[in-house]
């Protein structure tokens, strides 16, 4: 008689073998050339590691930023890997990446690692990373306001279907005075009067870019004090332009809540912080707009429970990911368990937020381990109540959690 495989093994095997659709990254279609970052130096100067590096070295901020990328990477490597043990999640990530690629950081130095990466052919390397990470597609973050990427969209290029687009609109919603001036130079007849004409022109802008990108959803990150409704440009633009646009084109709106931008500007991209979000705003948005679909991720640990309870109340709300400072094994475990226990499988547990292609290897390896543990525990609880889960049911659930449910939500 065949010996039954332990549940933990069955779950882990299915979670690892199921391709994931990574619903939020900062990666770019290969056609964007050098905007798609990869390799050891880009891995080491990732802003998560920059902020950790500054805790260990006393290099002045200006000296750090004016140094070459190689020099910055050397400093970070020395501070975080040679002078101290690489215990943080971002440091461990580098080790998982190297291990997945068959490289041994203990037996090689940065020069040797650099030579290995320099020998890789970009197109083959992209295929290899996506295969190794078992990532079927990644969703990019595409901003019409980004001067580096906009010209390529304007020119047009042949799309890699593994790289999907999302329309990112932070400057529109958080910096209206400056953004309205830019829209005017692009031929949209907007002004600061909050008039129907301005709203219609913003909608035209959103529709143009949605079509140009073939954007799967529209997205924004907002500070902890975002309120809705409110007498602010942000709330007005949402009510009069973004939400009607979403209804008209059937496009979901992703809210990333709780980021305090530039808490320490000297750290540049690494200088953003976190605050507790006012989730009444989210409740009001969901309640007042049943015909809009909202994706939401919140940055503070303290906001997670309230968000999940809101999702129980509003079926037009889909929580996703363990964003940024919550993307650590302990918090992923806590947040995923909380969501499973209150929402079943009707959420998307993780996105990678990768900024460097190779990070897909560690972000998904680490998250898959945690997800497997969380699911095993819940299926074990079910077994204790007499419900023995079958492999095909585990597969159905995992497919749902790794992008299937998200896809259905944004397309419905």
Residue ranges binding Zn ion (CB under 5 A): 353
By the rule CB under 6 A, 355 interacts with ligand FIX: yes
CA 139 to chain centre: 8
356 contacts 41 by C-beta, under 8 angstroms = no
Q: How many CA atoms lie within 13 A of 298 on its CB side?
A: 26
For ligand FIX, the closer CB: 128 or 175: 175
Count the Cβ atoms, other than its own, within 10 Å of residue 193: 8
By the rule CB under 6 A, 324 interacts with ligand FIX: yes
For ligand FIX, the closer CB: 26 or 377: 26
The site partner of 295 among ligand FIX, Zn ion, none (C-beta below 5 to 8 Å per kind) is none
**Nearest distance from C-beta of residue 27 to ligand FIX, angstroms:** 11
The site partner of 269 among ligand FIX, Zn ion, none (C-beta below 5 to 8 Å per kind) is ligand FIX
The site partner of 373 among ligand FIX, Zn ion, none (C-beta below 5 to 8 Å per kind) is none
How far is residue 208's CA from residue 398's CA, in Å, rounded to a whole number?
A: 35
**Nearest distance from C-beta of residue 256 to ligand FIX, angstroms:** 6
**Nearest distance from C-beta of residue 199 to Zn ion, angstroms:** 28
By the rule CB under 6 A, 218 interacts with ligand FIX: no
The site partner of 324 among Zn ion, ligand FIX, none (C-beta below 5 to 8 Å per kind) is ligand FIX
**Nearest distance from C-beta of residue 261 to ligand FIX, angstroms:** 8
Count the Cβ atoms, other than its own, within 10 Å of residue 179: 22
How far is residue 28's CA from residue 142's CA, in Å, rounded to a whole number?
A: 8
Interface residue with ligand FIX, options 221, 346, 350, 372 (CB under 6 A): 221
Q: What is the DSSP string of 4-29?
A: PPPHHHHHHHHHHHS-EEE-------
The site partner of 133 among Zn ion, ligand FIX, none (C-beta below 5 to 8 Å per kind) is none
For ligand FIX, the closer CB: 142 or 346: 142
Interface residue with ligand FIX, options 17, 263, 266, 269 (CB under 6 A): 269
Interface residue with ligand FIX, options 256, 357, 394, 401 (CB under 6 A): 256
Rg (CA), the chain: 22
In Å, how far are 46, 255, 256 from 411, measured between CA atoms? 33, 17, 20
| 33 CB-contact burial (10 Å; exposed 0-12 / middle 13-18 / buried 19+) | exposed
CA 200 to chain centre: 30
| 347 CB-contact burial (10 Å; exposed 0-12 / middle 13-18 / buried 19+) | buried
4 contacts 388 by C-beta, under 8 angstroms = no
Q: Give residues 92-151 in contact with ligand FIX (rule: CB under 6 A).
A: 141
By the rule CB under 6 A, 320 interacts with ligand FIX: no
**Nearest distance from C-beta of residue 57 to ligand FIX, angstroms:** 21
Interface residue with ligand FIX, options 89, 201, 353, 365 (CB under 6 A): 353
Q: What is the DSSP string of 120-155?
A: S-HHHHHHHHHHHHTEEEEE--B-TT-TTTHHHHHH
Size of residue set near ligand FIX by CB under 6 A? 8
For ligand FIX, the closer CB: 256 or 375: 256
**Nearest distance from C-beta of residue 79 to ligand FIX, angstroms:** 21
**Nearest distance from C-beta of residue 178 to ligand FIX, angstroms:** 18
For ligand FIX, the closer CB: 21 or 355: 355
By the rule CB under 6 A, 373 interacts with ligand FIX: no
Closest CA to 217 of 261, 269, 252, 184: 252
How far is residue 218's CA from residue 144's CA, in Å, rounded to a whole number?
A: 12
How far is residue 348's CA from residue 23's CA, in Å, rounded to a whole number?
A: 9
For Zn ion, the closer CB: 12 or 353: 353
User: Where do contacts with ligand FIX occur on this chain (CB under 6 A)?
Assistant: 26, 141, 221, 256, 269, 324, 353, 355
């Amino acid at each position: 008689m065949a010996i039954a495989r332990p549940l933990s093994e069955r779950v882990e095997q299915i979670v690892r073998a199921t391709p994931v659709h990574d619903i939020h990254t900062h990666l770019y279609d290969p056609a964007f050339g050098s905007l798609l970052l990869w390799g050891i130096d880009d891995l080491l100067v990732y802003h998560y590691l920059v902020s950790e590096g500054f805790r260990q070295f006393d290099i002045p901020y200006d000296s750090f930023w004016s140094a070459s990328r190689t020099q910055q990477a050397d400093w970070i490597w020395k501070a975080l890997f040679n002078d101290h043990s690489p215990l943080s999640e971002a440091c461990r990530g580098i080790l998982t990446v190297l291990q997945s690629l068959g490289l041994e950081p203990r037996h090689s130095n940065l020069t040797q690692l650099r030579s290995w990466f320099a020998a890789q052919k970009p197109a083959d390397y992209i295929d290899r990373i996506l295969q190794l990470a078992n990532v079927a597609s990644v969703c990019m973050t595409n901003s019409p306001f980004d001067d580096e990427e906009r010209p390529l969209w304007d020119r047009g290029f042949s799309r890699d279907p593994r790289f999907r687009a999302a329309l990112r609109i932070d400057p529109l919603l958080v910096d209206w005075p400056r953004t309205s001036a830019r829209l005017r130079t692009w031929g949209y007849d907007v002004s600061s009067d909050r008039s129907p004409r301005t709203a219609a022109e913003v909608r035209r802008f959103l529709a143009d870019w949605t079509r140009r990108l073939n954007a799967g959803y529209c997205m924004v990150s907002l500070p902890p004090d975002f309120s809705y409704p409110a007498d602010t440009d942000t709330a007005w633009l949402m009510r009069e332009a973004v939400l009607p646009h979403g209804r008209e084109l059937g496009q979901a709106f992703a809210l990333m809540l709780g980021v305090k931008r530039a808490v320490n500007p000297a750290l540049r991209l690494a200088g953003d912080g976190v605050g507790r979000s006012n989730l009444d705003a989210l409740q009001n948005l969901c309640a007042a707009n049943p015909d809009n679909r909202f994706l939401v991720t919140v940055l503070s640990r303290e906001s997670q429970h309230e968000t999940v309870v809101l999702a129980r109340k509003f079926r037009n709300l889909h929580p996703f990911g363990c964003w940024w400072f919550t993307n650590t094994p302990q918090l992923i475990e806590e947040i995923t368990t909380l969501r499973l226990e209150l929402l079943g499988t009707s959420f998307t547990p993780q996105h990678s937020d990768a900024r460097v292609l190779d990070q897909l290897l560690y972000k998904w390896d680490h998250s898959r381990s945690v997800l497997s543990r969380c699911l095993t525990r819940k299926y074990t609880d079910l077994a204790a109540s007499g419900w023995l889960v079958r492999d095909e049911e585990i597969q159905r659930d995992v497919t749902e959690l790794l992008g299937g449910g998200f896809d259905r939500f944004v397309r419905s």
